[in-house]
Amino acid sequence: MGIKSGFTFWNLVFLLLVSYVQGFIYTCGGTLKGLNGTIESPGFPYGYPNGANCTWVIIAEERNRIQIVFQSFALEEEYDYLSLYDGHPHPANFRTRLTGFHLPPPVTSTKSVFSLRLTSDFAVSAHGFKVYYEELQSSSCGNPGVPPKGILSGTKFDVGDKIRYSCVTGYILDGHPQLTCIANSVNTASWDFPVPICRAEDACGGTMRGSSGMISSPNFPNEYHNNADCTWTIVAEPGDTISLIFTDFQMEEKYDYLEIEGSEPPTIWLSGMNIPPPIISNKNWLRLHFVTDSNHRYPGFSAPYQGIFN
Ligand SMILES: *[C@@H]1O[C@H](CO)[C@@H](O)[C@H](O)[C@H]1NC(C)=O
Ligand SMILES: *[C@@H]1O[C@H](CO)[C@@H](O)[C@H](O)[C@H]1NC(C)=O
């Protein structure tokens, strides 16, 4: 693609310049059209510049959506970010912010425009990222990705196609093992269940089914343990939504947190001592990820959930 050949030489010159000039903002990016292609951070895989502010806007045919699949990802954790926007790069379209060294799962837009913005601080860099993007017809769900330690069987992702997940030995599948690509409306084919995750056999968390139940941090109402990492997935009937209402919430501000996926905004981080407002899922699932650091323990959280028939 044009962007790739355009980069190399001047990019390297810039990289060298920029690394010595503090306070200089390095801009790059561009507008991309076409059925598919790849985007690499400048200098990939030898490191992106400091002070980068690069925005790529991918524009698909009207009515199509865009899927991005990461092939490589390494950004200085908590200092450099890749922000994703479901549309043009305006705050109202902000979707998520990626950082660190784990390959993120594929992301699919809800509209025909999708944007990525790389911002880096003024010190330390990493390999950067490489991402493959593809236009999805309205009848395609796109590749849902493979969770860490997971195995995906199935290679077609269009309406009616089914795929199956399993885990490598020593790991247990949490979630629905089989996904079907279903047509919800003219413009949104999607998988009927979220991608399951693979957890170590003795880890906390799990899949919750049924119309109601309760999720609590380990040992609740006594103190949770240090270095906890628990993921729960609540799965309701297709078409239903889920409400989660906190009755207790106490954790070490900032260092211990509960991350919730599947609601609006798509990722919510909760921490501290205040009872958060109720959470309503967008679809028939919610995922809770509870993480604690190596010191200070509190009672944690407790929250009943209920499926809502729509
Ligand atoms: C775009 O898709 C075509 C057909 O599937 C494939 O041959 C080509 O390699 C893809 N382009 C990139 C940049 O991956
Ligand atoms: C990056 O550039 C955009 C405009 O191109 C601007 O709106 C945004 O504030 C910049 N972000 C940073 C972190 O400098």
Q: If pLDDT is split at 50, 70 and 90, which confidence band does 138 have?
A: confident
Q: Is the CB of 119 under 6 A from ligand 2?
A: yes
pLDDT higher than threshold 90 for residue 39:
yes
Q: Is the CB of 282 under 6 A from ligand 2?
A: no
CA 277 / ligand 2 centre spacing (Å): 32
pLDDT tens-place string over residues 194-225: 899 998 887 899 999 888 999 999 999 999 99
Residue ranges of the chain that CATH labels 2.60.120.290:
2-136, 204-310
Chain centroid offset of residue 102 CA: 11
Q: If pLDDT is split at 50, 70 and 90, which confidence band does 122 have?
A: confident
CA 111 / ligand 2 centre spacing (Å): 22
Q: If pLDDT is split at 50, 70 and 90, which confidence band does 5 have?
A: very low
Class level of CATH domain 2-136:
mainly beta
**Could you give the CA distance from residue 163 to residue 2 in angstroms, rounded to a whole number?**
35
pTM of the model: 0.70
For a ligand 2 pocket test, name from 26, 28, 53, 81 the mutation site with the most ligand atoms within 8 angstroms of its C-beta: 53
CATH for the 204-310 domain, from 3.65.10.10, 2.10.109.10, 3.30.70.1230, 2.60.120.290? 2.60.120.290
**pLDDT-above-70 percentage for the chain:** 92
Residue ranges of the chain that CATH labels 2.10.70.10:
146-200
25 DSSP 8-state letter: -
263 DSSP 8-state letter: S
* Domain 146-200 belongs in CATH node 3.40.1280.10: no
pLDDT higher than threshold 70 for residue 9:
no
Map residue 10 onto helix, strand or coil: helix
pLDDT tens-place string over residues 281-309: 998 999 999 999 999 999 999 999 999 88
CA 36 / ligand 1 centre spacing (Å): 6
Q: If pLDDT is split at 50, 70 and 90, which confidence band does 4 have?
A: very low
Under 8 Å CB-to-CB from 227, ≥6 apart: which residues? Answer: 292, 293, 294
